[in-house]
A and B are shown apart, each in its own frame.
Chain A
């Protein structure tokens, strides 16, 4: 652990952590529709869009827009960078837990 936060600030917010965790549960090469994601996370569309944009700017998610017939469909997936960042994040959490366990007596 360095002096700076070991936890990725892009992921380290409850809403985005849930969002990234949900996307991480998809199989490789899968995308989830915006509406399913919204239902899954119980978020408003605007709220979800805001968090998605932040993740998209960081290169962690890819948002694709397509059309099913005439209705526009938005799909979301973690990018490789996003999956890696999420894995690093969980590893950092485990490390925090691990160091807490080994130093448990000194705290």
Chain B
């Protein structure tokens, strides 16, 4: 087999109309084939960029929410806190930051995945329900335990460590489902530090969730952003 002479730079030299868009054999050059492969790659990347939720945004958003919300709880419960934060203020801060993160990420995900139907959308729906059921069940468990007569510090500890565990397990499950090593590792990290934070007790559990949890998410978001900037067009 010998290669034909280079007749045209572009593989699609005869594309003036739909009927004549078949490039004549012989116009293929290594350059043109490379261009076509690049076109395919670019198009596939574009699908990812437009139809998949942006992990940088989601990790960044939730990292910030945890850093602020759990950070406020840490400052409210830490005896040596340099700033005075009341418990109601800490509670409000946590609620507002988590609620904002939830609204923004829901809107973002809904807009990205709106055009895709089928297996992925079913997977996504089941996964969203898993988060919901996990947290509703956690709330029920804590309210049950509360009735046995534990103090506020123990309730706070249960909420913080329990949330960290649910987040950790769901990230690990997400990593398993989407074969996402980063998400899986992040989940394992969350689960482990939540357990360790609970052993350390109040107020350290809040510090752990704010810095190791929220900070960890922010670090991953920053790493992903830097990596996509490097490999981007």
Contact = CB atoms under 8 A, between A and B. Distances in A.
Interface of A: 1, 3-7, 9, 12-14, 17-18, 21-22, 24-33, 35-37, 39-40, 50, 54, 75, 77, 90, 93-94, 96-97, 99-101, 103-104, 106-107
Contacts, number: 117
B39 A12 contact: no
A97 B117 CA distance: 36
Contact of A12 (B22, B50, B118): B22
A100 B33 contact: yes
Contact of A100 (B11, B21, B25, B30): B30
B46 interface: yes
A38 to B, nearest CB: 10
B29 interface: yes
Nearest to B123: A27
Given A5-B25, A25-B48, A17 B3 contact: no
Given A14-B39, A96-B28, A30 B12 contact: no
A104 B12 CA distance: 22
A37 B116 CA distance: 10
Interface in B170-209: none
A29 B46 CA distance: 19
Given A12-B11, A12-B22, A21-B43, 14 more contacts: A5-B23, A14-B12, A21-B44, A22-B43, A25-B48, A29-B118, A32-B116, A33-B116, A36-B115, A77-B118, A93-B36, A93-B37, A100-B29, A107-B6
Contacts of B36: 17, 93
Interface in B31-72: 33-34, 36-37, 39-40, 43-44, 46-48, 50-51
Contacts of B119: 27-30
B18 interface: yes
14 contacts: A9-B22, A12-B12, A12-B23, A21-B40, A22-B43, A25-B48, A29-B119, A33-B114, A93-B33, A94-B33, A96-B28, A97-B37, A100-B3, A104-B30
Given A13-B15, A13-B18, A18 B115 contact: no
B115 A26 contact: no
A35 B5 CA distance: 42
